[in-house]
A and B are shown apart, each in its own frame.
Chain A
Amino acid sequence: MDPDRALVEAAAGGSRDAFDELVRRHQSAVITLARVLTSGKGDAEDLAQDVFVRAWRSIGSFRGDSTFRTWLHRVAINVIRTSQSRQGRLLRMFTARGRDEGTVPDPASGEEPVDAALARRQVIDRALAALPEELRVAVTLRDLQGLEYKEIAVLLDVPIGTVESRIFRARQKLKPLLQEIDDRR
Protein backbone atom coordinates (compact mmCIF):
# COMPACT_ATOMS: atom_id res chain seq x y z
CA MET A 1 0.00 0.00 0.00
CA ASP A 2 1.41 3.37 -1.03
CA PRO A 3 1.31 5.72 1.98
CA ASP A 4 1.12 8.69 -0.41
CA ARG A 5 -1.82 7.41 -2.40
CA ALA A 6 -4.56 9.66 -1.00
CA LEU A 7 -2.37 12.73 -1.36
CA VAL A 8 -1.40 11.77 -4.90
CA GLU A 9 -5.04 11.39 -5.90
CA ALA A 10 -5.90 14.75 -4.39
CA ALA A 11 -2.91 16.40 -6.07
CA ALA A 12 -3.83 14.84 -9.41
CA GLY A 13 -7.25 16.41 -8.94
CA GLY A 14 -5.60 19.81 -8.62
CA SER A 15 -5.09 20.15 -4.86
CA ARG A 16 -1.99 22.23 -4.23
CA ASP A 17 -2.25 21.60 -0.48
CA ALA A 18 -1.97 17.87 -1.09
CA PHE A 19 0.99 18.42 -3.37
CA ASP A 20 2.66 20.65 -0.76
CA GLU A 21 2.44 17.80 1.71
CA LEU A 22 4.01 15.44 -0.83
CA VAL A 23 6.84 17.94 -1.31
CA ARG A 24 7.38 18.15 2.45
CA ARG A 25 7.49 14.35 2.72
CA HIS A 26 10.02 13.85 -0.05
CA GLN A 27 12.06 17.05 -0.21
CA SER A 28 15.01 15.64 1.79
CA ALA A 29 15.23 12.54 -0.38
CA VAL A 30 15.11 14.51 -3.61
CA ILE A 31 17.71 17.05 -2.46
CA THR A 32 19.99 14.22 -1.31
CA LEU A 33 19.60 12.45 -4.64
CA ALA A 34 20.37 15.65 -6.53
CA ARG A 35 23.41 16.32 -4.37
CA VAL A 36 24.81 12.84 -4.87
CA LEU A 37 24.06 12.56 -8.58
CA THR A 38 25.69 15.90 -9.31
CA SER A 39 28.62 15.11 -6.98
CA GLY A 40 28.04 18.45 -5.36
CA LYS A 41 28.73 20.30 -8.63
CA GLY A 42 25.23 21.56 -9.18
CA ASP A 43 22.74 23.44 -7.09
CA ALA A 44 20.96 20.50 -5.51
CA GLU A 45 18.11 22.60 -4.12
CA ASP A 46 17.49 24.23 -7.46
CA LEU A 47 17.42 20.86 -9.19
CA ALA A 48 15.12 19.46 -6.52
CA GLN A 49 12.69 22.30 -7.20
CA ASP A 50 12.79 21.46 -10.90
CA VAL A 51 11.98 17.87 -10.00
CA PHE A 52 8.89 18.87 -8.04
CA VAL A 53 7.72 21.24 -10.76
CA ARG A 54 8.01 18.39 -13.28
CA ALA A 55 6.24 16.06 -10.85
CA TRP A 56 3.35 18.53 -10.47
CA ARG A 57 2.98 18.82 -14.23
CA SER A 58 3.08 15.05 -14.73
CA ILE A 59 1.17 13.84 -11.71
CA GLY A 60 -1.96 13.39 -13.78
CA SER A 61 -0.17 10.71 -15.80
CA PHE A 62 0.89 8.77 -12.70
CA ARG A 63 -1.06 5.52 -12.92
CA GLY A 64 -0.08 4.02 -9.58
CA ASP A 65 1.83 1.10 -11.12
CA SER A 66 4.57 1.81 -8.57
CA THR A 67 4.63 3.78 -5.36
CA PHE A 68 4.73 7.55 -5.65
CA ARG A 69 8.20 7.50 -4.09
CA THR A 70 9.54 5.24 -6.85
CA TRP A 71 7.85 7.33 -9.54
CA LEU A 72 9.23 10.54 -8.03
CA HIS A 73 12.74 9.07 -8.03
CA ARG A 74 12.37 8.25 -11.71
CA VAL A 75 11.28 11.83 -12.43
CA ALA A 76 14.22 13.08 -10.36
CA ILE A 77 16.80 10.96 -12.16
CA ASN A 78 15.46 12.10 -15.54
CA VAL A 79 15.48 15.78 -14.59
CA ILE A 80 18.94 15.63 -13.01
CA ARG A 81 20.50 13.70 -15.90
CA THR A 82 18.96 16.06 -18.45
CA SER A 83 20.33 19.02 -16.54
CA GLN A 84 23.75 17.41 -16.27
CA SER A 85 23.99 16.65 -19.97
CA ARG A 86 22.90 20.22 -20.79
CA GLN A 87 25.54 21.61 -18.44
CA GLY A 88 28.12 19.20 -19.85
CA ARG A 89 27.43 20.45 -23.38
CA LEU A 90 27.75 24.08 -22.25
CA LEU A 91 30.97 23.30 -20.41
CA ARG A 92 32.45 21.63 -23.49
CA MET A 93 31.38 24.57 -25.62
CA PHE A 94 33.04 27.20 -23.48
CA THR A 95 36.09 25.43 -22.14
CA ALA A 96 38.64 23.30 -23.93
CA ARG A 97 38.41 20.83 -21.14
CA GLY A 98 36.14 20.91 -18.11
CA ARG A 99 38.61 21.46 -15.34
CA ASP A 100 36.28 20.06 -12.69
CA GLU A 101 34.93 17.26 -14.79
CA GLY A 102 35.61 13.84 -13.41
CA THR A 103 37.68 15.02 -10.51
CA VAL A 104 37.03 14.14 -6.94
CA PRO A 105 36.78 17.08 -4.57
CA ASP A 106 39.97 17.50 -2.62
CA PRO A 107 39.35 16.75 1.04
CA ALA A 108 41.84 19.41 2.06
CA SER A 109 40.17 22.12 0.01
CA GLY A 110 36.76 21.76 1.64
CA GLU A 111 35.45 24.19 4.16
CA GLU A 112 36.16 23.49 7.76
CA PRO A 113 33.35 21.29 9.04
CA VAL A 114 30.99 23.03 11.40
CA ASP A 115 30.15 19.93 13.38
CA ALA A 116 30.60 16.18 13.33
CA ALA A 117 27.41 15.50 11.38
CA LEU A 118 28.39 17.89 8.63
CA ALA A 119 31.89 16.45 8.56
CA ARG A 120 30.48 12.94 8.18
CA ARG A 121 28.22 14.04 5.37
CA GLN A 122 31.12 15.66 3.56
CA VAL A 123 33.21 12.50 3.81
CA ILE A 124 30.30 10.42 2.49
CA ASP A 125 29.67 12.90 -0.33
CA ARG A 126 33.32 12.80 -1.37
CA ALA A 127 33.41 9.01 -1.25
CA LEU A 128 30.26 8.73 -3.35
CA ALA A 129 31.61 11.29 -5.81
CA ALA A 130 34.59 9.03 -6.41
CA LEU A 131 32.37 6.22 -7.70
CA PRO A 132 31.40 5.69 -11.33
CA GLU A 133 27.88 7.01 -11.91
CA GLU A 134 26.14 3.66 -12.32
CA LEU A 135 27.51 2.43 -8.98
CA ARG A 136 26.82 5.75 -7.27
CA VAL A 137 23.19 5.84 -8.34
CA ALA A 138 22.49 2.25 -7.32
CA VAL A 139 24.07 2.47 -3.88
CA THR A 140 22.48 5.86 -3.22
CA LEU A 141 19.02 4.59 -4.05
CA ARG A 142 19.54 1.57 -1.80
CA ASP A 143 21.50 2.79 1.19
CA LEU A 144 20.66 6.48 1.38
CA GLN A 145 17.13 6.45 0.01
CA GLY A 146 16.11 3.05 1.31
CA LEU A 147 14.57 1.76 -1.91
CA GLU A 148 14.13 -1.99 -2.42
CA TYR A 149 16.27 -3.83 -4.95
CA LYS A 150 13.17 -4.52 -7.01
CA GLU A 151 12.20 -0.85 -7.05
CA ILE A 152 15.70 0.14 -8.12
CA ALA A 153 15.67 -2.43 -10.92
CA VAL A 154 12.40 -0.98 -12.23
CA LEU A 155 13.67 2.56 -11.85
CA LEU A 156 16.93 1.98 -13.67
CA ASP A 157 15.40 -0.48 -16.11
CA VAL A 158 18.02 -3.15 -15.45
CA PRO A 159 17.75 -6.73 -14.11
CA ILE A 160 17.72 -7.13 -10.35
CA GLY A 161 21.00 -9.08 -10.53
CA THR A 162 22.66 -6.05 -12.09
CA VAL A 163 21.39 -3.88 -9.26
CA GLU A 164 22.76 -6.32 -6.66
CA SER A 165 26.12 -6.45 -8.41
CA ARG A 166 26.39 -2.66 -8.68
CA ILE A 167 25.54 -2.16 -5.03
CA PHE A 168 28.00 -4.85 -3.97
CA ARG A 169 30.83 -3.31 -6.00
CA ALA A 170 29.94 0.20 -4.83
CA ARG A 171 30.18 -0.81 -1.19
CA GLN A 172 33.49 -2.56 -1.84
CA LYS A 173 34.90 0.63 -3.32
CA LEU A 174 33.41 2.79 -0.59
CA LYS A 175 34.84 0.79 2.29
CA PRO A 176 38.37 2.27 2.21
CA LEU A 177 37.03 5.71 1.31
CA LEU A 178 34.81 5.76 4.38
CA GLN A 179 37.59 4.57 6.66
CA GLU A 180 38.04 8.17 7.81
CA ILE A 181 34.65 8.06 9.50
CA ASP A 182 35.42 4.76 11.21
CA ASP A 183 38.73 6.16 12.43
CA ARG A 184 37.01 9.13 14.06
CA ARG A 185 34.65 6.92 16.04
Chain B
Amino acid sequence: MTEDDDQAAVAALLASTPPPDVPADFVARVNARIDATEGWLGVADFRLWTLRLAPAAVVLALITVLWPGTSTGTTTTSVSTAAADTFRPAAQDDWQQEVSSDALLVAALTGAGHAR
Protein backbone atom coordinates (compact mmCIF):
# COMPACT_ATOMS: atom_id res chain seq x y z
CA MET B 1 0.00 0.00 0.00
CA THR B 2 1.44 3.38 -0.96
CA GLU B 3 1.42 6.48 1.19
CA ASP B 4 -1.33 7.94 -0.99
CA ASP B 5 -3.45 4.84 -0.47
CA ASP B 6 -2.97 5.10 3.28
CA GLN B 7 -3.99 8.74 3.21
CA ALA B 8 -7.09 7.98 1.17
CA ALA B 9 -8.03 5.05 3.40
CA VAL B 10 -7.82 7.14 6.56
CA ALA B 11 -9.78 9.95 4.94
CA ALA B 12 -12.48 7.51 3.88
CA LEU B 13 -12.68 6.01 7.35
CA LEU B 14 -13.03 9.40 8.97
CA ALA B 15 -15.62 10.50 6.42
CA SER B 16 -17.68 7.43 7.29
CA THR B 17 -17.84 8.41 10.96
CA PRO B 18 -21.46 7.99 12.04
CA PRO B 19 -23.11 11.34 12.80
CA PRO B 20 -23.74 12.13 16.46
CA ASP B 21 -27.11 11.45 17.99
CA VAL B 22 -28.71 14.87 18.15
CA PRO B 23 -31.47 15.18 20.77
CA ALA B 24 -34.87 15.91 19.30
CA ASP B 25 -35.21 19.02 21.43
CA PHE B 26 -31.83 20.50 20.48
CA VAL B 27 -33.32 23.40 18.52
CA ALA B 28 -35.80 24.14 21.30
CA ARG B 29 -32.96 24.21 23.84
CA VAL B 30 -30.95 26.59 21.67
CA ASN B 31 -34.01 28.85 21.44
CA ALA B 32 -34.55 28.74 25.19
CA ARG B 33 -30.95 29.77 25.73
CA ILE B 34 -31.22 32.60 23.21
CA ASP B 35 -34.35 33.86 24.97
CA ALA B 36 -32.61 33.70 28.33
CA THR B 37 -29.52 35.61 27.17
CA GLU B 38 -31.55 38.20 25.28
CA GLY B 39 -33.54 38.93 28.41
CA TRP B 40 -30.39 39.95 30.27
CA LEU B 41 -28.32 41.26 27.43
CA GLY B 42 -31.17 43.38 26.09
CA VAL B 43 -31.00 45.51 29.20
CA ALA B 44 -27.22 45.79 29.12
CA ASP B 45 -26.84 46.22 25.36
CA PHE B 46 -25.74 49.84 24.90
CA ARG B 47 -26.47 49.65 21.17
CA LEU B 48 -30.16 49.11 21.82
CA TRP B 49 -30.20 51.98 24.30
CA THR B 50 -28.37 54.22 21.87
CA LEU B 51 -30.95 53.53 19.20
CA ARG B 52 -33.89 54.02 21.56
CA LEU B 53 -32.51 57.28 22.86
CA ALA B 54 -31.70 58.65 19.42
CA PRO B 55 -35.07 60.48 18.96
CA ALA B 56 -34.76 62.13 22.37
CA ALA B 57 -31.21 63.20 21.52
CA VAL B 58 -32.41 64.75 18.25
CA VAL B 59 -35.20 66.66 20.04
CA LEU B 60 -32.76 68.00 22.64
CA ALA B 61 -30.31 69.06 19.93
CA LEU B 62 -33.10 70.90 18.07
CA ILE B 63 -34.26 72.66 21.24
CA THR B 64 -30.71 73.78 21.95
CA VAL B 65 -30.26 75.22 18.49
CA LEU B 66 -33.73 76.75 17.97
CA TRP B 67 -34.55 78.03 21.47
CA PRO B 68 -34.84 81.88 21.37
CA GLY B 69 -31.92 83.67 23.00
CA THR B 70 -29.67 80.63 22.97
CA SER B 71 -26.61 80.73 20.83
CA THR B 72 -23.23 79.18 20.94
CA GLY B 73 -21.62 82.64 20.73
CA THR B 74 -23.14 83.78 24.03
CA THR B 75 -22.05 80.64 25.76
CA THR B 76 -18.52 80.92 24.47
CA THR B 77 -18.24 84.53 25.61
CA SER B 78 -19.51 83.85 29.10
CA VAL B 79 -17.25 80.85 29.49
CA SER B 80 -14.20 82.67 28.26
CA THR B 81 -14.99 85.66 30.53
CA ALA B 82 -15.32 83.38 33.52
CA ALA B 83 -12.04 81.73 32.67
CA ALA B 84 -10.32 85.09 32.35
CA ASP B 85 -11.58 86.08 35.80
CA THR B 86 -10.27 83.04 37.53
CA PHE B 87 -7.03 82.43 35.65
CA ARG B 88 -4.44 85.18 35.88
CA PRO B 89 -1.09 84.10 34.57
CA ALA B 90 1.97 85.50 36.20
CA ALA B 91 3.84 88.35 34.66
CA GLN B 92 6.01 87.62 31.67
CA ASP B 93 9.05 88.37 33.83
CA ASP B 94 8.20 85.55 36.20
CA TRP B 95 8.42 82.97 33.44
CA GLN B 96 11.87 84.15 32.44
CA GLN B 97 13.47 84.17 35.89
CA GLU B 98 16.14 81.58 36.56
CA VAL B 99 14.92 79.58 39.54
CA SER B 100 16.96 76.97 41.36
CA SER B 101 15.41 73.66 42.30
CA ASP B 102 16.12 74.36 45.98
CA ALA B 103 14.24 77.62 45.78
CA LEU B 104 11.29 75.87 44.17
CA LEU B 105 11.27 73.24 46.90
CA VAL B 106 11.37 75.87 49.63
CA ALA B 107 8.56 77.78 47.95
CA ALA B 108 6.45 74.67 47.69
CA LEU B 109 7.01 73.71 51.33
CA THR B 110 6.49 77.15 52.78
CA GLY B 111 3.65 78.11 50.44
CA ALA B 112 5.45 81.27 49.37
CA GLY B 113 3.85 83.15 46.47
CA HIS B 114 7.01 83.61 44.43
CA ALA B 115 10.03 81.37 44.28
CA ARG B 116 12.99 83.43 43.17
Interface residues, chain A, with chain B CB atoms under 8 Å away: 16, 20, 23-24, 27-28, 31-32, 35, 44-45, 48-50, 52-53, 56-57, 117-118, 120-121, 124, 139, 142-144, 146, 168, 171-172, 174-175, 178, 181-182
Contacts and interface: CB of A to CB of B under 8 A. Distances in A.
B22 A27 contact: yes
Given A23-B27, A27-B26, A146-B15, A32 B20 contact: yes
A121 B18 contact: yes
Given A28-B22, A35-B20, A44-B20, A23 B15 contact: no
Interface of B: 6-7, 9-11, 13-20, 22-23, 26-27, 29-31, 33-34, 37, 41
B105 to A, nearest CB: 50
B10 A23 contact: no
Contacts, number: 77
Contact of A171 (B11, B17, B30): B11
Nearest to B8: A171
A27 B31 CA distance: 13
A104 to B, nearest CB: 17
A168 B19 CA distance: 23
Most B Cβ at <10 Å: residue of A50, A52, A182: A52
B7 A171 contact: yes
A144 B12 CA distance: 9
B38 to A, nearest CB: 8
Nearest to A115: B18
Contacts of A143: 10-11, 14-15
Nearest to B28: A20
A182 B41 CA distance: 51
B112 to A, nearest CB: 57
A118 B17 CA distance: 9
Contact of A53 (B7, B15, B34): B34
A31 B29 CA distance: 14
A82 to B, nearest CB: 16
5 contacts: A49-B30, A121-B18, A171-B10, A174-B14, A182-B9
